[in-house]
Chain A
Amino acid sequence: MLPELGNFAIILALFFAIVQIAGPFVRVSGLQYTAVFSQFFFLAFAMLCLIFCFINNDVTVLFVRDHSHELLPLIYRIGASWGGHEGSLLLWCLILSGWTAFFLIFSLMKKNIPNELLTKIIMVLGYVSTGFILFLFSTSNPFKRDFPTEPISGNDLTPILQDPGLIFHPPMLYLGYVGFAIAFAFAVAVLLEGRLEKNWAHACRPWVIMPWSFLSCGIVLGSWWAYRELGWGGWWFWDPVENASLLPWLAATGLLHSLIVCEKREAFKGWTLMLAIITFALCFLGTFLVRSGVIVSVHAFANDPDRGVYLLGFMAIVIGSALVCYLLRIKHFYQPPKFQLFSRETFLLLNSVVLISAVATIVIGTLYPIVLEALNLEKISVGEPYFNTVFVPIMLPALFFMGLAPHVSWGQQTVITLWKKMRWTLFFSLLITALFPIVTGFEFHVLTSLGIFLGIWIIFATLQLFFQMKNKSILPVSAMMIAHIGIAILVLGMTLNKSYSVERQVKMLPGESVNLAGYQFTLNNIHEMNGPNYQSIAALFNVQNNRGKEFSVTSEQRIYLSHNQAMSKAGILVNMWRDLYLALGTSFSDGAWSVRIYYKPFVRWIWCGGFMLLLGGFLSLITFLQKKGERHEAI
């Protein structure tokens, strides 16, 4: 009964999505808005049906049969409802309609968007939503049933997904990914209108900042999950699926900055609209890459070529029509630049150029092997060494400008005043970079020093802003400061981790020890443990630092009963300055075990930096809400 209700709810949601498109043509007051909320209601209902099917472990539903098992713990059953293609797509649609409903309520309350425009935005969103719900219903229906003649049990969720990461990472990522649909719809609606309201950029900004914050957090959560789960302590592999989430993030970062110029200086309007389209196009591309099966990835998902064709076709229609709108209407938005070459505007444009080049690099790196293979030319792999050689040099100057740009004036600036303002900051950043290897005893490398310099430079230059602020409200600036410092901390974490991580692979018998990076690791004992749906061999290690302090940590090899597949569950000792990461490998005939031990300095900084982006985003949102409030009081 439940699956049929869910299925019916999807059909109703599809109907309301179509009504949402028809809104501007059928002038029945409130019809379109009702459609938005009804659609959200029915998709939420469908999602709940699916979750209950999982909780009941209803194996007559094919999607549940493929991803659940009677032994699977409840929390992962709930997570499993988006742990496969069909459910994850339902989540996609649900989040899209959720954003739409939230946007609508917010805009109706704030009254900051004219009705004409609002109707058009909702229409464009309806267009996207219809396509996705149709896709869900026709090619990836999660409620498809099959009644087995004899009792069977489910295939269970892939062990690699059975982790708290599954509960948080996909919804967070989708909140980001899908949220950019609003900015896209905004841009297309503005193009359809053919004119820009004065407060357009201001009204659009939260709809870029919120998804951007969620996406930052989602990417960071994904990296943290991979770090713990895949058993080698890597936090980024330039895997196509990871790239797919980074692409819209980079474009949205460009959009975020470009919108500021739009709002404050009434410039870059055309370019900002273009960036909004590009950002959502990249979300589409990401969905296509992940869901179609054209890529080989470590994050294995269920794939099917038919879905790829549908998604590609739908993407061509949505993005293609947006681009046609753009080409037809863009001349209305063109303005000659009203600023000098050396000005904050130029730096912010430069930011866009660099970020879009970075996007292009990743797109090229991800798609090139696919294209070469499709043309039957050659089979190549593009991985970390390529991106380190091409992507990193493109981003480095951008990081330097990130510290500098907030100090440059709007309109124009002379080099000499900027130099006078920044020289001491530059000097101290260089000084600390030079002192770093001497004080800490870490080995000196040129590229490492460059990374350290950029991180410290951004932090100092950003803090300098704080001290130079004269009786201005601190909140608006602090959002930017926290986000920029977050990036600096991210850069420092990545640089130091890449440069100074050390590891040993050893063969250990119980009672034996190994020294690494000033720690002594002793294998205490090996014992068996039983989990809810797995058996594991657990190795208990004692770790002693050079001041004699002791810790203990367990590293496991789990065998999941339903899959008969071994999974390494690393033991990790965490603090602010370093992680100690122990992964249990295979056993030898003499009772010894292979163990990989990693010392990973500053790895936490990477995730701290990422969470600072989320924090910065939310602060900026508070500013947005507050500012409006103050204005109302003033009136």
Chain B
Amino acid sequence: MRIILFLFTMVFFLSCYAAEDIYHFSSTEDQTRFAMLTSELRCLVCQNQNIAESNAPLAGDLRQQIFQQIQTGHSNQEIVDFLVDRYGNFILYRPPFNAGTIGLWFLPFILLFSGISYLVYYIRKKR
């Protein structure tokens, strides 16, 4: 009996003194997903901050929104699609790949490649 009482107080003790997570996830995988999603989405009312780090009320709402969607079993893609539907591509810190952003995604590599090619050509040319 004493032992049970002791265990009971122990449990009580722990539950009383450990602070609770604001976003409590059942698995670490979900927690990582939450961290990843909130860090890759832009807070729309801030100067230039992601919603994980912003203190703006909108960012708080969006965090809550994403948290609930993760809890109800939505995939990352579904959550992102939902937010893009609502707020447009501006919310994505990773711009989507489309006709308008081809240059954004490919130009750096094209420049690097042509730079190296020219370099090799320049050194080899004299022979």
Q: Identify the stretch in B2-10, B68-76, B112-120 within 8 Å (CB) of chain A at 4 or more residues.
A: B112-120
Q: Quick one: given A298-B47, A394-B108, are A339 and B94 in contact (CB under 8 Å)?
A: no
Interface hub of A391, A506, A585 (most chain B Cβ within 10 A): A506
Q: What A residues does B22 contact at CB under 8 A?
A: 505-507, 594
Instruction: Answer yes or no: A161 CB below 8 A from chain B CBs.
Output: no
CA distance A346 to B22 in the complex (A): 55
Interface residues on A, range: 35 or more
The answer to whether B21 and A505 touch across the interface, beta carbons within 8 angstroms, is yes
Of B42, B100, B125, the residue contacting A377 (CB under 8 A) is B100
| CB of A511, distance to nearest CB on chain B (Å) | 7
The answer to whether B112 and A394 touch across the interface, beta carbons within 8 angstroms, is yes
Instruction: Answer yes or no: B86 CB below 8 A from chain A CBs.
Output: no
Q: What B residues does A380 contact at CB under 8 A?
A: 89-90, 92, 95-96, 100-101
Interface size on B, residues (CB 8 A): 47
Q: Quick one: given A232-B53, A357-B108, A382-B104, are A341 and B124 in contact (CB under 8 Å)?
A: yes
The answer to whether A361 and B108 touch across the interface, beta carbons within 8 angstroms, is yes
Instruction: Answer yes or no: A75 CB below 8 A from chain B CBs.
Output: no
| CB of A366, distance to nearest CB on chain B (Å) | 11
From A338, which residue of chain B is reached at the shortest CB distance?
B126
Instruction: Answer yes or no: A372 CB below 8 A from chain B CBs.
Output: yes
Instruction: Answer yes or no: A621 CB below 8 A from chain B CBs.
Output: no
Q: Quick one: given A296-B48, A298-B49, are A337 and B126 in contact (CB under 8 Å)?
A: yes
Instruction: Answer yes or no: A512 CB below 8 A from chain B CBs.
Output: yes
The answer to whether A507 and B90 touch across the interface, beta carbons within 8 angstroms, is no
**Interface 1/0s, chain A 271-305, versus B by CB < 8 A?**
00000000000000000000000001111100000
Instruction: Answer yes or no: A526 CB below 8 A from chain B CBs.
Output: no
The answer to whether A350 and B119 touch across the interface, beta carbons within 8 angstroms, is yes
Q: Quick one: given A296-B48, A377-B100, are A511 and B95 in contact (CB under 8 Å)?
A: no
Instruction: Answer yes or no: B83 CB below 8 A from chain A CBs.
Output: no
From B44, which residue of chain A is reached at the shortest CB distance?
A381
**Interface 1/0s, chain B 36-67, versus A by CB < 8 A?**
00011010001111101101000000000000
Q: What B residues does A300 contact at CB under 8 A?
A: 47
Instruction: Answer yes or no: B91 CB below 8 A from chain A CBs.
Output: yes
CA distance A361 to B104 in the complex (A): 8
The answer to whether B17 and A513 touch across the interface, beta carbons within 8 angstroms, is yes
Of A297, A365, A368, A568, the residue contacting B48 (CB under 8 A) is A297
The answer to whether A504 and B40 touch across the interface, beta carbons within 8 angstroms, is no
Of A232, A353, A381, A592, the residue contacting B42 (CB under 8 A) is A381
CA distance A595 to B108 in the complex (A): 40
Instruction: Answer yes or no: A561 CB below 8 A from chain B CBs.
Output: no
| CB of A225, distance to nearest CB on chain B (Å) | 16
Q: What B residues does A151 contact at CB under 8 A?
A: none
Q: Quick one: given A298-B49, A341-B124, A511-B17, are A381 and B93 in contact (CB under 8 Å)?
A: yes
Q: What A residues does B20 contact at CB under 8 A?
A: 506-507
| CB of B14, distance to nearest CB on chain A (Å) | 10
The answer to whether A298 and B108 touch across the interface, beta carbons within 8 angstroms, is no
| CB of A108, distance to nearest CB on chain B (Å) | 39
Q: Quick one: given A381-B42, A384-B93, A390-B108, are A239 and B48 in contact (CB under 8 Å)?
A: yes
Q: What B residues does A385 contact at CB under 8 A?
A: 40, 93-94
CA distance A383 to B35 in the complex (A): 16
**Interface 1/0s, chain A 361-398, versus B by CB < 8 A?**
10011001100100001111111111001110010000
The answer to whether A360 and B108 touch across the interface, beta carbons within 8 angstroms, is yes
Which chain A residues in 505-520 approach chain B with CB under 8 Å? 505-509, 511-515
**Interface 1/0s, chain B 4-31, versus A by CB < 8 A?**
0000000000000111111100000000
From A391, which residue of chain B is reached at the shortest CB distance?
B108
Q: Quick one: given A341-B120, A386-B93, are A508 and B19 in contact (CB under 8 Å)?
A: yes
The answer to whether A514 and B19 touch across the interface, beta carbons within 8 angstroms, is yes
Instruction: Answer yes or no: A548 CB below 8 A from chain B CBs.
Output: no
From A345, which residue of chain B is reached at the shortest CB distance?
B123
The answer to whether A234 and B100 touch across the interface, beta carbons within 8 angstroms, is no
CA distance A239 to B47 in the complex (A): 10
| CB of B25, distance to nearest CB on chain A (Å) | 11
Q: What A residues does B94 contact at CB under 8 A?
A: 383, 385-386, 389
Q: What A residues does B46 contact at CB under 8 A?
A: 298
18 sampled A-B residue pairs with Cβ under 8 A: A296-B48, A297-B48, A298-B49, A340-B123, A353-B112, A353-B115, A353-B116, A353-B119, A364-B103, A365-B104, A380-B95, A380-B96, A383-B40, A383-B42, A505-B21, A506-B21, A507-B21, A513-B18
Known interface pairs A360-B107, A509-B19; 6 further A-B residue pairs with C-beta atoms within 8 A, sorted by A's residue number: A349-B123, A350-B119, A357-B115, A361-B111, A364-B108, A390-B109
- Which A residues are within 8 Å of any B CB, using their own CB? 230-232, 234, 237, 239-240, 296-300, 336-337, 339-341, 346, 349-350, 353-354, 356-357, 360-361, 364-365, 368-369, 372, 377-386, 389-391, 394, 503-509, 511-515, 523, 568, 585-586, 592, 594-595
- Which B residues are within 8 Å of any A CB, using their own CB? 17-23, 35, 39-40, 42, 46-50, 52-53, 55, 88-96, 100-101, 103-105, 107-109, 111-112, 115-116, 119-120, 122-126
